[in-house]
Amino acid sequence: MIKAVGYAAKHSYSKLKRYEFEREEAKANEVEIAVMFCGVCHSDIHQVKDEWSNTVYPCLPGHEIVGRVTKVGGDVTRHAVGDMVGVGCMIDSCRTCEPCRTGDENYCEGPNSWLATYNGPMVPKAKADDGKNHYGRDNTFGGYSNIVVVPADFALKIPAGLQPEVAAPILCAGVTTYSPMKHWGVKAGDKVGIVGFGGLGDMAAKIAKAMGADVTVFTTTKDKLDEAKRIGVTGVLEDDTKTMTSLKSSFDFILSTIPEKHDINPFVKLLKRDKTLTICGALEPMKGVDNSEVAFHRRSVAGSLIGNLADTQEILDFCAEHHIGPDVEVIAIDKINDAYKAVIDGDVRFRYVIDLATLDRNDD
Amino acid sequence: MIKAVGYAAKHSYSKLKRYEFEREEAKANEVEIAVMFCGVCHSDIHQVKDEWSNTVYPCLPGHEIVGRVTKVGGDVTRHAVGDMVGVGCMIDSCRTCEPCRTGDENYCEGPNSWLATYNGPMVPKAKADDGKNHYGRDNTFGGYSNIVVVPADFALKIPAGLQPEVAAPILCAGVTTYSPMKHWGVKAGDKVGIVGFGGLGDMAAKIAKAMGADVTVFTTTKDKLDEAKRIGVTGVLEDDTKTMTSLKSSFDFILSTIPEKHDINPFVKLLKRDKTLTICGALEPMKGVDNSEVAFHRRSVAGSLIGNLADTQEILDFCAEHHIGPDVEVIAIDKINDAYKAVIDGDVRFRYVIDLATLDRNDD
């Protein structure tokens, strides 16, 4: 066993606190990684607070992990000690279902679905069709810690051109927005709408722009219009009815990145005929959609969940090549509870990234 | 002008009553049709009762019309006097927008959208972007009448193998269900679900079966299970949770035909990854959809509106070729108000079809 330390919450009402625990040594197919940086995702907060009613405690979040390989199992050829690697939302999948066989591990249909980087299998034992947990672990501990140990094929290569703290949020916010844009065929010249301009929206807008799309971000926060201008996209206030009306039936694709229940009806109207609005931020019952607006133009409303391993590598490389990435604010881990509050309060457009070196500060 | 007679409602709270009116003579591109039969669609009831808040009175419904051509305009080559023809939901479209140019008149994006067979333009003057009515008519009178006059290219050919009273509902219920199944690529061997087993559901199930699909209909009415068996498809009661659970993630396409607000969440779960549930029956705000079920399998929820002219001809020919059609109950027009009540009360699986010859009964 390896002694490890991180920040975890013991209950839904608890703050994150320093937490010492043990990890298993790397198996033949695994790598041990010394974590350098870990992004703070809005879903970390949902999970810590048990807002999806499925949290296993203690909850040690973090699925935007960048670090250096410190040990490799005997069968590992993909990575070597010293390599800079990244770990996103998944650390394993069933590897036998149709989605896994075709490289869509994020849609794993095994009895427990994929194994999340923290909080264990996506489908726990109690909800599994066969009542079993094939991963043998009810809980997993994420990247708010000094060490992670994961199967080598679930560790991505961080390209040379990316700073590690910038690469971290690409592993979740980047691929979560890139994957649906790729799947629904966003291409140069398309008019793409991004609803919500927080961590996901910022990445989505930059990626869509780098893909050559004509990008509009929709926000409720006036201050963010300047930020849109700064990154070279159009910003529209959702309550600017005149502009919203003028944009009717003009978008080829719209991605909603808002991380909680919201109303997509104002945006459905903006889609061209036969086009799709995809929700990649919220994982909950949404406000009802007016099927008259959907049916009259044969539009679709879809959902998308993170991205597969190949897409994750692709978007890391794409960001390096196009010199784009999230705007990050690096914080010490003992500031994590303040960071959560700021994210909940709403106006954070940049991504908080924890510098795990700060764990040592009070390590003794 | 031509003297015409039909059944119309003068107010949202009125019953349909005998109504005498005038139609314009056929123009060069138009045909005059002596109506033989007209189907009763659930949307007729919505419209008569102003349940979509857009009814123009007097309201003379009917958009499942079959009759014989009695006069042709000078430019008409498509039909000749004596031909049996059908008229569905549309009698004109802008003919210049992108959907019209590519043969999707039912998604016409002209300022007034398409011209409905009754109730005038889909987008009335007051709601048109340019504040105009390019069709010059606020209201149109449908097929609950002895004569209609329509552009020749909006009249379909009724194939020899189809009885006229059986052909009538294919012009709306048939194409409304066929069009989305064609668009979303339903093919032999696919597992197809049909939600709701009324007039639309009956046609949908028969068409899907004739396409070679493995068809399951979902209903809340136990009596309809026998009917499902009779037409050779599987019937499932929506509240049979054991069966519903066993069907999880197994369907290639699901079509919801329920003609009012309903909850599609139980059916979204039944879709395979990357597959679509399309709502073709309800034109209103729906109950909210749980995006967790949508996103976890990258599913889509779409809407579809009737069908284009080419698809309408195609499904008429397909039904003749495969010897399928709606189960109809032919009624005299003075029974129309009773028929509406029966449809509203819910258990009508067959389609009521008005025999317009019965108009003569009390014509003097």
**Burial of residue B285 (number of CB atoms within 10 Å: 0-12, 13-18, 19+):** middle
**Do the Cβ atoms of A288 and B288 come within 8 Å?**
yes
Picking from A94, A298, A305 by the largest number of B CB atoms within 10 A of its own CB, the best residue to mutate is A298
pLDDT for B88 beyond 90:
yes
CA A296 – CA A294 distance, rounded (Å): 6
Among residues B39, B7, B314, the alpha carbon closest in space to that of B182 is found at: B314
Residues of A with CB under 8 A from a CB of B: 52, 98-99, 104, 107, 109, 113, 122, 183, 249, 265, 273, 276, 279-280, 282-305
Contacts of B301 in chain A (CB under 8 A): 289, 294, 300-302
pLDDT for A267 beyond 70:
yes
What confidence tens digit (pLDDT) does each residue in A53-97 have?
999 999 999 999 999 999 999 999 999 999 999 999 999 999 999
Instruction: With cut-offs at 50, 70 and 90, classify the pLDDT of residue B350.
Output: confident
CA B189 – CA B291 distance, rounded (Å): 28
pLDDT recorded at residue B364: 41
What confidence tens digit (pLDDT) does each residue in B307-321 have?
999 999 999 999 999
pLDDT recorded at residue B279: 98
pLDDT recorded at residue A361: 64
pLDDT for B363 beyond 50:
no
**Do the Cβ atoms of A295 and B279 come within 8 Å?**
yes
**Do the Cβ atoms of B300 and A183 come within 8 Å?**
no
Question: 């691929």: which residue's tokens?
Answer: A175
Among residues B309, B312, B271, B316, the alpha carbon closest in space to that of B290 is found at: B271
Do residues B261 and B241 touch, judged by C-beta distance below 8 A? no
- The proportion of chain A whose per-residue pLDDT surpasses 70, expressed as a percent, equals 98
Which secondary structure element, helix H or strand E, spans residue B340, and what is its range?
helix B336-345
Reduce the secondary structure of chain A to three states and give it as a string. Answer: CEEEEEEEECCCCCCCEEEEEEECCCCCCEEEEEEEEEECCHHHHHHHCCCCCCCCCCECCCCCEEEEEEEECCCCCCCCCCCEEEECCEEECCCCCHHHHCCCHHHCCCCCCCEECCCCECCCHHHCCCCCCCCCCCCCCCCCECEEEEEHHHCEECCCCCCHHHHHHHHHHHHHHHHHHHHCCCCCCCEEEEECCCHHHHHHHHHHHHCCCEEEEEECCCCHHHHHHHCCCEEEECCCHHHHHHCCCCEEEEEECCCCCCCCHHHHCCEEEEEEEEECCCCCECCCCEHHHHHCCCCEEEECCCCCHHHHHHHHHHHHHHCCCCCEEEEEHHHHHHHHHHHHHCCCCCEEEEEHHHHHHHCC
**Do the Cβ atoms of B290 and A284 come within 8 Å?**
yes
Instruction: With cut-offs at 50, 70 and 90, classify the pLDDT of residue B346.
Output: confident
Q: How far is B68 from chain A (nearest CA, A)?
A: 31
Contacts of A99 in chain B (CB under 8 A): 273
Q: How far is B229 from chain A (nearest CA, A)?
A: 29
Q: How far is A82 from chain B (nearest CA, A)?
A: 35
Reduce the secondary structure of B227-252 to three states and give it as a string. Answer: HHHHCCCEEEECCCHHHHHHCCCCEE
CA B135 – CA B94 distance, rounded (Å): 9
Instruction: With cut-offs at 50, 70 and 90, classify the pLDDT of residue A363.
Output: very low
Average pLDDT over residues A292-296: 96
In chain B, whose CA is at the least distance from the CA of A98? B273
**Do the Cβ atoms of B249 and A109 come within 8 Å?**
yes
Q: How far is B282 from chain A (nearest CA, A)?
A: 7
Closest CB from A122, A249, A299 relative to B302: A299
Picking from B298, B301, B306 by the largest number of A CB atoms within 10 A of its own CB, the best residue to mutate is B298
Do residues A97 and A110 touch, judged by C-beta distance below 8 A? yes
Among residues A198, A170, A137, the alpha carbon closest in space to that of A63 is found at: A170
- The proportion of chain A whose per-residue pLDDT surpasses 90, expressed as a percent, equals 93
What confidence tens digit (pLDDT) does each residue in B202-257 have?
999 999 999 999 999 999 999 899 999 999 999 999 999 999 999 999 999 999 99
Helix, coil or strand: residue B44: helix
Average pLDDT over residues B290-301: 96
pLDDT recorded at residue B307: 97
What confidence tens digit (pLDDT) does each residue in B13-23 have?
999 999 999 99
Q: Show me where the domains of chain A are located.
A: 2-162+327-362, 174-303
**Do the Cβ atoms of B104 and A273 come within 8 Å?**
yes
User: In the CATH scheme, what is the homologous superfamily, with its name and number, of domain A2-162+327-362?
Assistant: Medium-chain alcohol dehydrogenases, catalytic domain (3.90.180.10)
Residues 6+ apart with CB under 8 A from A93: A100, A105, A108, A110, A113, A114, A115
Estimate the crossing angle of helix B309-322 against helix B199-210, to 10 degrees. Answer: 70
In chain A, whose CA is at the least distance from the CA of B106? A296
pLDDT for A349 beyond 70:
no
Among residues A352, A358, A351, A363, the alpha carbon closest in space to that of A334 is found at: A358
Among residues A328, A201, A340, A175, the alpha carbon closest in space to that of A258 is found at: A201
What confidence tens digit (pLDDT) does each residue in B91-137 have?
999 999 999 999 999 999 999 999 999 999 999 999 999 999 999 99
Helix, coil or strand: residue B333: helix
Picking from B98, B175, B291 by the largest number of A CB atoms within 10 A of its own CB, the best residue to mutate is B291
- The proportion of chain B whose per-residue pLDDT surpasses 70, expressed as a percent, equals 98
**Do the Cβ atoms of A289 and B301 come within 8 Å?**
yes
CA B265 – CA A18 distance, rounded (Å): 41
Do residues B90 and B103 touch, judged by C-beta distance below 8 A? no
Q: How many CB pairs under 8 A join A and B?
A: 122
Vertex B183, ends B180 and B184: CA angle to 5°?
85
pLDDT for B86 beyond 70:
yes
Do residues B281 and B257 touch, judged by C-beta distance below 8 A? yes
CA A233 – CA A51 distance, rounded (Å): 33
Residues 6+ apart with CB under 8 A from A321: A159, A161
- Lowest-confidence pick of A213-222, A342-351, B65-74: A342-351
Among residues B30, B33, B25, B31, the alpha carbon closest in space to that of B68 is found at: B33
Closest CB from B99, B294, B298 relative to A273: B99
Give the CB-side neighbour count of residue B231, counting CA atoms within 13 A: 29
Residues 6+ apart with CB under 8 A from B21: B4, B5, B6, B8, B60, B141, B145
Vertex A319, ends A314 and A323: CA angle to 5°?
155
Query: For A26, phi and psi rounded to 5 degrees?
Result: -60, 130
What confidence tens digit (pLDDT) does each residue in A134-193 have?
999 999 999 999 999 999 999 999 999 999 999 999 999 999 999 999 999 999 999 999
A174-303 topology per CATH: Rossmann fold (3.40.50)
Estimate the crossing angle of helix B175-183 against helix B199-210, to 10 degrees. Answer: 50
CA A255 – CA A209 distance, rounded (Å): 13
Residue A21 pairs in a beta bridge with A4
Mean pLDDT of chain B: 95
**Burial of residue A120 (number of CB atoms within 10 Å: 0-12, 13-18, 19+):** buried
**Do the Cβ atoms of B282 and A291 come within 8 Å?**
yes
Mean pLDDT of chain A: 95
**CA end-to-end distance (rounded Å), chain A:** 20
pLDDT recorded at residue B10: 97
What confidence tens digit (pLDDT) does each residue in A99-147 have?
999 999 999 999 999 999 999 999 999 999 999 999 999 999 999 999 9
Q: How far is A153 from chain B (nearest CA, A)?
A: 22
Contacts of A273 in chain B (CB under 8 A): 98-99, 104, 107, 109
